[in-house]
Structure formats: C-alpha cells, structure tokens
Amino acid sequence: MKSFNNKVAAITGAGSGMGRALAKSLASRGCHLGLADINESALEETAKDCRNYNVDVTTYIVDVSNKDSVYTFADDAVRDHNHVNLVFNNAGVSLTDNVEHMTYQDFNWLMDINFWGVVYGSKAFLPHMQKVEEAHIVNTSSIFGTIAVPSQSAYNASKFAVRGFTYALRMELEKTHINVSCVQPGGVKTNIVRDSRYVAPDNAAPTKEEITATFESMANLTSDQAAEKILMGVIKNKAQILVGRDAMFIAILERLAPVLYQKLISRAFS
C-alpha cells in the first residue's frame, strides 16, 4: 500500500494511546476511519479530533473479547464505508502477577482481549478485505512477544501468540493482495500500565503507582511517534514492525543470546 489517501481503516482500541494516534495520523493522510473502543467517551474524543481532517469517521462500541461484537463491528464498518482496506487489531490490556497466584479469571480476561481480540478481528474482516484491491491487516504484539519477563507470563503468552498467529497468517496470504504485519512496540507512553491489573507478590513489592511511574520514565516514544513508525512499516509492507530503539535492541539480544538474556533478566528481578 503506497498511500493511505481515500482508503478506509478500521481500528480497535482507538479511544487512547497508539489507537488514537494511529487514527489521527491516518486522518491527516486522508484516510477514512471506522473507530472502535469499549470506552464511549474516549472514542468520541478521538473521533472529534479526526473529523478536523475532513474525512468520514464512524464509531462503534466494541468489546474485542466478544466474537459477536467484533463481527458486528466488521459488518457495520463495511456497511457504513462500503469497504475496508486496513485493519489495526490494536486493543490490548496488561496484567502483572506471578503464575502461582494468578487467577484463571484474570488470565482469561487478558487472553480474551489481547489474543482472541486479534483473532476475531483478523477473521471477521478477512472476507471483506478479499473484495478490495489493496488490503492490510496490522496486529499489535509487543517486544514482550519476543522475550519473557517475570510477572508478565500472561501478557507474554498473549503477545507471543499474536506474533505466531500473525506470521502464519502472512504466509497463508502471501500470494494474495492482502498484506499482514506484526507490530512489536517497546516502551511507548500509553495508559496500558496505568490501566492494568496489578497484584503485588508481597508487601515489599513496589506499588502500581511506582511501577507506572517507572514505566513512563523509561518509555522512549510517544504514541504519536509510535504511530508514525507503524504506518511507515505498513507502507513498506514489513512483516515485523519494531517500534523504538529498545525494541530493536531486545530483538537482537534475544536472537544472539536466547538463553543468556533470561539469566540477565532473572538477576535484574531478583
């Protein structure tokens, strides 16, 4: 896809963070939008910003963990815009807890959004995308889909799963007009940690506020900067879109030292 002008993009998690930044950046390039989020007020705020660019913007309240909700979103977006060229399966959540103490309820909550939301979004839009000349599916994994970190087992599991699913889908569609990319951000200043579920392992563990402050101080990119890098990767039809120098460094580290990095991280968390 050489240009986003006069294309139609469907974006989940569009109410904040990278989803909102992607929507605004695409709108500035003349791309029409079907925006989805579970937070209605945040979604309308994104839509208001995007309408300043004189593009068609529609909004949908969508729970990506619910298959029927996602399929309805796909059908309604295509009905309202006549077609969809790009799908950004971007919605995601975070959970910090140890495997031993983590409840299945929390684990299922995260997997339903982070992994199944991507699967539902990909499958729901695929039949519609087969009817347009140019199409691209963009699934958001994470650099934590490349390396594992203590207390992030559920998040790691979901993002490793998204990465594998997306690469398989890209290979399956290689000889078609539908391109597929896997986005792997490093530290991006979004609300994902602030809005996460956090279970402290003991009384000496840092508070959620302290973890949020640490993450935000270490995050190298703003959501707007991340969105620009993602869209550049889409234009170049990259299979893997690493977002941020930290993501690139970690990807190289895991490739060169797949066992050693685990020891280094374990020491850092001990």
Query: 63-116 pLDDT, tens per residue?
Result: 999 999 999 999 999 999 999 999 999 999 989 899 999 999 999 999 999 999
Q: Where are the beta strands (DSSP E) in the chain?
A: 8-11, 32-37, 57-61, 86-89, 95-96, 135-140, 178-185, 188-189, 197-198, 221-222, 240-243
Q: What is the mean pLDDT of residues 174-201?
A: 74
DSSP secondary structure, 44-96, as one string: HHHHHHHHTTS--EEEEE--TTSHHHHHHHHHHHHHHHS---EEEE-----EE
Please confirm, yes or no, whether 155 is among the known catalytic residues: yes
Q: List the structure tokens of 31.
A: 């791309």
Q: What is the mean pLDDT of residues 123-127?
A: 98
Residue 25 has pLDDT above 70, yes or no: yes
Query: 133-172 pLDDT, tens per residue?
Result: 999 999 999 999 998 988 899 999 999 999 999 999 999 9
Residue 192 has pLDDT above 70, yes or no: no
Q: What percent of the chain has pLDDT over 70?
A: 86
The full set of domains in the chain, from first to last, is 8-269 (3.40.50.720)
Q: List the structure tokens of 145.
A: 């889909």
| 53, 104, 155, 167: the active-site residue | 155
pLDDT in the model for residue 189: 52
